[in-house]
Amino acid sequence: MSQQPSHIVIGAGISGLSAAHYAARSGQDVRVLEADAREGGCMHTHAFPELGGYWVEAGSHSCFNSYGNLLGIMEQLGILGRATAKAKQSYKLWREGEHKSILSALHPVELVRSLPKLFGADKTGASVREYYGKGLGEKNYRDLFGPAFRSVICQPPDEFPAEALFRKKPRRKDVLRSFTMPEGLSEIPQRIARTPGVTLTTNAIATAIERDGEGFAVTCADGTRHRADWLTLAVPPDVAATLLTDNAAEAAAIIAGIGMAEINTQLLVLDKADLGVDALAGFISVDGAFLSAVSRDFLEHPQLRGFAFHFPGDALDEQARIEAACRALNASPERVRAAAFVRNRLPALRKGHFDQIAALDRALAGGRVGITGNWFLGVSIEDCVTRSRSEHERRFGALTETLEEAPAAAA
């Protein structure tokens, strides 16, 4: 048995790390167990050493000044000042093997007729197609907005809960509207992982959870066993359901009904001179092989341009993914300077999801187990941090956020 923390967090994505940060600021000693070799989860900046460390985001692509809870953590850690402005770029449609403007897919007459239905319409219980198909018009939804929503969540949007797609959040006017970090967004989870009171253990695959008195014992695949009085799970729903089956059967049964979408992300870096497309934010794919693509053109480099193309899981092999991406880029696959493959997993939320979460919260009430992740409020970074904060406050009371109590900024 290793040295005992007071709180174990399973999962070191932004959900788990923000949960650990909040617990540590409340005076707890926290151990974070991460199955992967790195922290961050979907906040994954991939650097190419052979290109001088040039990096491309493989998962989350941006942060915003509406991410209040995340900004609070960054402020407490002294890294908010590193927020770096992103040059404003526009998206293009990829349709029928050609680049198209966004406006080319818009049906303005239908939009004018449909928009009044959107004002005052209730998202509660509605799917994305039900809510936006009616409020924007079916042709607009089919030709533009449906593909755009698919690009956001990297999966078919029709049955996705409308409530989880966009949530209005207050903006901080003293912070850049949209930002990255000088070395990519992975700076944020890396710094949170160094919160005083937090110990991160990577390559630690949790395989079993047992009750141990009023606390919990977590066994990992290598045989190590960790005990703590409090437990937070910050893992995908299928993993959470498996881990909780023996000790929280009701919660596990509810979670088991939440699906996952498998995403294959292909990263490419090319020389500027070898690309046949001007600077852009990315592609909204209407009928292409990929779900969406995001560029790194928001941060200028004198020679290189980088891209992340998100494909449905295991639909194409690497060569086919590279060829499909290069067709959209008007580039030759032979001219690719560097490539990397990243497997991402996202929750496949469906209509009625928030009823499931309400039932899960009732099952968790009064207990010492907390569950967080990108499958509660929505898939954005802020949705993850907000859930982690609410699970902390449910068990430990309201957080104090005065900067005077924050740890000193890192050098």
Q: Is residue 282 part of a domain?
A: no
Look at residue 28 and tell me if it is in a domain.
yes
Q: Give me the number of domains the chain comprises.
A: 2
Q: Is the same domain home to 13 and 122?
A: no
Residue 168: the pLDDT is 80
The residue to which tokens 């970074």 are assigned: 381
- Of 60, 42, 67, 282, whose CA–CA distance to 167 is shortest? 67
pLDDT at 314: 84
Q: Is 365 a domain residue?
A: yes
What pLDDT was estimated at residue 249? Answer: 92
Torsion region of 154: left, alpha or beta (phi above 0 gives left; psi -120 to 50 gives alpha):
left
Distance separating alpha carbons of residues 49 and 21, to the nearest angstrom = 30
- Are residues 249 and 191 both part of a single domain? yes
Rounded Cα gap, residues 112 and 234, in angstroms? 43
The model's pTM is 0.93
Q: What is each CA distance from 28 to 86, 231, 305, 326, in whole angstroms?
A: 36, 12, 44, 50
Nearest to 41 by CA among 166, 167, 165, 200: 200
Pair 159, 193 in one domain = no
Structural domain including 387 reads: 7-42+185-258+349-405
Same domain, 254 and 190: yes
CA 214 to chain centre: 33
Residues 254 and 353 in one domain: yes
Whether 133 maps to a domain, the answer reads yes
If asked whether residues 158 and 220 sit together in one domain, one would say no
Cβ–Cβ < 8 Å for 39, 167 = no
Indicate whether 246 and 364 sit together in one domain: yes
Residue 410 region, left (φ>0) first, then alpha (ψ -120 to 50), else beta? Answer: beta
| CATH number of residue 359's parent domain | 3.50.50.60
Query: Is the residue at 393 inside a domain?
Result: yes
Q: How far apart are CA 259 and CA 383, in angstroms?
A: 18
Q: What is the pLDDT along the chain (411 residues), one digit of tens a residue?
A: 446 889 999 999 999 999 999 999 999 999 999 999 999 999 999 999 999 999 999 999 999 999 999 999 999 999 999 999 999 999 999 999 999 999 999 999 999 999 998 888 888 889 999 999 999 999 999 999 999 999 999 999 999 999 998 878 899 999 999 999 999 999 999 999 999 999 999 999 999 999 999 999 999 999 999 999 999 999 999 999 999 999 899 999 999 989 999 999 999 999 999 999 999 999 999 999 999 999 999 999 999 999 999 999 988 999 999 999 999 999 999 999 999 999 999 999 999 999 999 999 999 999 999 999 999 998 899 999 999 999 999 999 998 764 334 333 332
